Chains A and B, each alone.
Chain A
Amino acid sequence: MRRYFLHLKKIGGYILYDEEGYEFRDLEAARAEALEAARELLASAIKAGWDLDTQAIIIADAEGRELDEVPLMTVLPKNFPPRPI
Chain B
Amino acid sequence: MEQSSRPSTPTQNRLLCNLSQADRNLLQPHLEPIVLNRGDVCVAVDTPITHVYFLEGGLGSTVAHDEGHGTGEIGMQGYEGLIGVPVLLGADRSPHKIFMQVGGPAQRIRVEPLREAMAQSASLCRLLLLYAQVFLVQTGQTAHVNVNYTILQRLARWILMSADRLGPHITLTHEYLSYMLGVRRAGVTEALHMLEGERLIKSTRGTIDVLDRPGLERMADRGYGIPEAEYERLIGPWR
Chain A interface (Cβ within 8 Å of chain B)?
6, 8, 16, 18-20, 22, 33-34, 36-38, 40-41, 44, 47-48, 54, 57
* Contact call A41/B175, Cβ cutoff below 8 A: no
* Contact call B189/A40, Cβ cutoff below 8 A: no
Known: A16-B193, A20-B185, A40-B183. A48 touches B174 (CB 8 A): no
Report the separation of the CA atoms of residues A47 and B148 in the bound assembly, to the nearest whole angstrom: 11
Which B residues touch A19, using CB under 8 A? 174, 205
* Contact call B186/A20, Cβ cutoff below 8 A: no
A-B pairs, top 3 by smallest CB distance, nearest first, are A37-B186, A48-B150, A37-B184
Report the separation of the CA atoms of residues A57 and B184 in the bound assembly, to the nearest whole angstrom: 13
Given contacts A6-B185, A38-B186, 17 further A-B contacts (CB under 8 A): A16-B190, A19-B174, A19-B205, A20-B185, A20-B205, A37-B185, A37-B186, A37-B187, A40-B184, A40-B186, A40-B187, A41-B187, A41-B190, A44-B150, A47-B150, A48-B150, A57-B186
Chain B interface (Cβ within 8 Å of chain A)?
150-152, 173-175, 183-187, 189-190, 193, 205
* Contact call A8/B185, Cβ cutoff below 8 A: no
* Contact call A18/B152, Cβ cutoff below 8 A: no
Q: How many A-B residue pairs have CB under 8 A?
A: 44
Chain A proximity of B131: nearest CB distance (Å): 34
Residue of B nearest to A54 (CB): B190
* Contact call B174/A44, Cβ cutoff below 8 A: no
Known: A44-B150, A47-B150, A48-B150. A18 touches B193 (CB 8 A): no
Chain A proximity of B46: nearest CB distance (Å): 28
Residue of A nearest to B193 (CB): A16
* Contact call B175/A44, Cβ cutoff below 8 A: no
28 A-B pairs within 8 Å (CB atoms) are namely A6-B185, A6-B186, A16-B189, A18-B185, A19-B174, A20-B173, A20-B174, A20-B205, A34-B186, A36-B184, A37-B184, A37-B185, A37-B187, A38-B186, A40-B183, A40-B187, A41-B186, A41-B187, A41-B190, A44-B150, A44-B151, A44-B183, A44-B187, A47-B150, A48-B151, A48-B152, A54-B190, A57-B186
Report the separation of the CA atoms of residues A6 and B175 in the bound assembly, to the nearest whole angstrom: 12
Which A residues touch B175, using CB under 8 A? 20
Which A residues touch B189, using CB under 8 A? 8, 16, 18
Which A residues touch B174, using CB under 8 A? 19-20
Report the separation of the CA atoms of residues A16 and B190 in the bound assembly, to the nearest whole angstrom: 8
Chain A proximity of B172: nearest CB distance (Å): 11
Which B residues touch A8, using CB under 8 A? 186, 189-190
